[in-house]
Amino acid sequence: MSTTGTSSFVVVANRLPVDRVTAADGTTTWRRSPGGLVTAMAPVMRAYDGAWVGWTGSPDDAPEPFSTDDMDLVAVPLSAEEIALYYEGFSNATLWPLYHDVIVQPEYHREWWDAYRAVNQRFARAAAEVAAENAVVFIQDYQLQLVPQLLRELRPDLKIGFFLHIPFPPTELFAQLPWRRQILEGLLGADLVGFQRAGAASNFEALAETFTTASLQGEALVLEDGHEVLARAFPISIQVEEVAKLAEDPEVQQRAATIREEVGAPVHILLGVDRLDYTKGIGHRLKAFGELLAEGAITPEEAVLVQVATPSRERVEAYQTLRDEVELQVGRINGDYGRIGHPAVHYLHSSYDRSELVALLLAADVMVVTPLRDGMNLVAKEYVSARADLRGALILSEFAGAADELGDGAFLVNPHDIDGLKRTMLAAMRIHPDESEQRMKLLRDHVTSHDISRWATEILTALRAT
């Protein structure tokens, strides 16, 4: 057993909840890291008072452990080469597309895999050094799937949980992976492996039985050495209160009103908020909106689309291609239907603070969430949390994990079906206020009673009980 640390609760994630940002003059500041993992896990971290082990987002960056925003952070350094091979390569050009239905073809490179193993080893050692004896260590997401096994070897005293924030692929797709056995064995080092959807947990169980020596006995997968692993779905959520409070703030409400004016006070504001990622179906959304304008079903005076696209993984080729495609589409639509000072699509390639984001949610009549595949999609839950006024409509892809929970109140769509998406956009824009109120009530009943604190209690109780 390696030396022990002092934290009785440790979160291990590829990124710290804050990213180091270096200005032109060399000064650095910390900014909230992108993505749903941080939205979900930061409040858990604050509530359980532990340490968060992760990367700062910059190469060769290894500050001493520090605290920010009520969280104790421990940095794991990555070299520029490791960022290219482990993060941009194996994590985001092999695993990400493979786990998201091969929307983009995954690439399999042995040197990427070698870097993935080496970096996972480093994260496991860092977690082992921070964790107190018998601590709970909660490992996050696809970048760190080998850490459970590596950590268990170093520290058999620990309770090890793992949560996958993204989908887990069907068996035929996962079977493509040249290192499928190693990944499965990595995950099987945990006591509990959590997924967003029940189907993902079943996929994992079937794959573990096919490609490893584990066998399903009752509820648990049992390894040859007797170690038992529970695989179950725990649909993740958000801190509803945080969004609700911002939505109640008169300044945020005023900002929402100003946004409406700024986009030309149309009858309908449609809104998309996504990392600029090919899984999010931004192109499908733009195509449907553009066709509605082309056919005259809506006019640019009547309806505008605000698309916030957070810069993401900008050095990965597929993301560069996507950006070009999206910006071409936006340019075409605005060229054809916009007027001076009145574009039909307001495209914002930028990150925003939480109050601006909530102001956008409040300004939107129709929230358009159309991923081709998404583990959960927390933006959908944020929209619902902001709408205490019971107004607005949520269009939600069947292929987002959130559709399992929000299917009753949302307008569910298959984003591949452009005609269906167009019909749904029109229906959501023309919804009667009574129906929209009924739907929003259903959505809010679910989201407010299933927030992140309930998720954390459920998954951590299940982990402790293993």
Residues lying near ligand F6P in the complex (CB under 6 A) are found at: 15, 34-37, 141, 165-166, 312-313, 375
Q: What are phi and psi of 412, to 5 degrees?
A: -80, 140
CB of 300 within 8 A of CB of 340?
A: no
Q: How far is the CB of 238 from ligand ADP (least distance, A)?
A: 7
Task: Name residues contacting ligand ADP, limited to 356-375 (CB under 6 A).
Answer: 357
Residue 352 interacting entry, from ligand F6P, ligand ADP, none, C-beta within 5 to 8 Å by type: ligand ADP
**Considering the rule CB under 6 A, would residue 400 count as an interface residue with ligand ADP?**
no
Of 34 and 199, CB closest to ligand F6P: 34
Of 155 and 346, CB closest to ligand ADP: 346
Residue 141 interacting entry, from ligand ADP, ligand F6P, none, C-beta within 5 to 8 Å by type: ligand F6P
Size of interface with ligand ADP, in residues (CB under 6 A): 16
Residue 273 interacting entry, from ligand F6P, ligand ADP, none, C-beta within 5 to 8 Å by type: ligand ADP
Letter for the amino acid at 311?
A: P
The interface region with ligand ADP, picked from 208-216, 335-343, 377-385, 450-458 by CB under 6 A, is: 377-385
Of 45 and 357, CB closest to ligand ADP: 357
User: Which of 183, 298, 308, 429 is close enough to bind ligand ADP by CB under 6 A?
Assistant: 308
Q: How far is the CB of 31 from ligand ADP (least distance, A)?
A: 10
Select from 87, 96, 89 the least CA-distant residue to 110. 89
Q: How far is the CB of 243 from ligand ADP (least distance, A)?
A: 9
Cα separation, 42 vs 130, in Å, equals 18
Instruction: Give me the 252-291 binding string for ligand ADP, x by CB under 6 A, dash otherwise.
Output: ---------------------x-x----------------
User: Which of 17, 35, 43, 272 is close enough to bind ligand ADP by CB under 6 A?
Assistant: 35
Task: Name residues contacting ligand ADP, limited to 318-357 (CB under 6 A).
Answer: 350-352, 357
Question: In the bound complex, which residue of the shown chain has the CB atom lying closest to ligand ADP?
Answer: 36
Provide the phi-psi class of 26: left if phi over 0, else alpha when psi is between -120 and 50, else beta. left
**Considering the rule CB under 6 A, would residue 378 count as an interface residue with ligand ADP?**
yes
**Considering the rule CB under 6 A, would residue 39 count as an interface residue with ligand ADP?**
yes
CA distances from 118 to 14, 124, 192, 203 (A): 13, 10, 23, 27
Cα separation, 409 vs 444, in Å, equals 9
Cα separation, 155 vs 1, in Å, equals 5
Letter for the amino acid at 104?
A: V
Residue 202 interacting entry, from ligand ADP, ligand F6P, none, C-beta within 5 to 8 Å by type: none
Cα separation, 77 vs 65, in Å, equals 12
204 exposed, middle or buried (CB, 10 Å; 0-12, 13-18, 19+)?
buried
Residue 15 interacting entry, from ligand F6P, ligand ADP, none, C-beta within 5 to 8 Å by type: ligand F6P
Q: Which helix (H) or strand (E) holds 148?
A: helix 147-154
Residue 384 interacting entry, from ligand ADP, ligand F6P, none, C-beta within 5 to 8 Å by type: none
Of 7 and 56, CB closest to ligand F6P: 56
Select from 219, 215, 218, 223 the least CA-distant residue to 186. 223
Of 220 and 246, CB closest to ligand ADP: 246
- The total of other beta-carbon atoms located within 10 Å of residue 117's CB is 16
Task: Name residues contacting ligand ADP, limited to 194-253 (CB under 6 A).
Answer: none
Q: Which helix (H) or strand (E) holds 10?
A: strand 7-15
**Considering the rule CB under 6 A, would residue 382 count as an interface residue with ligand ADP?**
yes
The interface region with ligand ADP, picked from 79-87, 245-253, 258-266, 376-384 by CB under 6 A, is: 376-384
**Contact partners, residue 369, CB within 8 Å, separation at least 6:** 272, 377, 379, 380, 383, 394, 395, 396, 397, 400, 402
Of 184 and 358, CB closest to ligand ADP: 358
Cα separation, 39 vs 333, in Å, equals 32
Of 273 and 330, CB closest to ligand ADP: 273
CA distances from 52 to 8, 81, 420 (A): 11, 24, 43
Residue 379 interacting entry, from ligand F6P, ligand ADP, none, C-beta within 5 to 8 Å by type: ligand ADP
Provide the phi-psi class of 356: left if phi over 0, else alpha when psi is between -120 and 50, else beta. alpha
CA distances from 408 to 141, 150, 395, 429 (A): 28, 42, 11, 18
Residue 310 interacting entry, from ligand F6P, ligand ADP, none, C-beta within 5 to 8 Å by type: ligand ADP
Strand order in the sheet with 366-369: 345-348, 303-310, 268-275, 366-369, 393-397, 411-413
Interaction site with ligand ADP (CB under 6 A): 35-36, 39, 273, 275, 308, 310, 350-352, 357, 376-379, 382
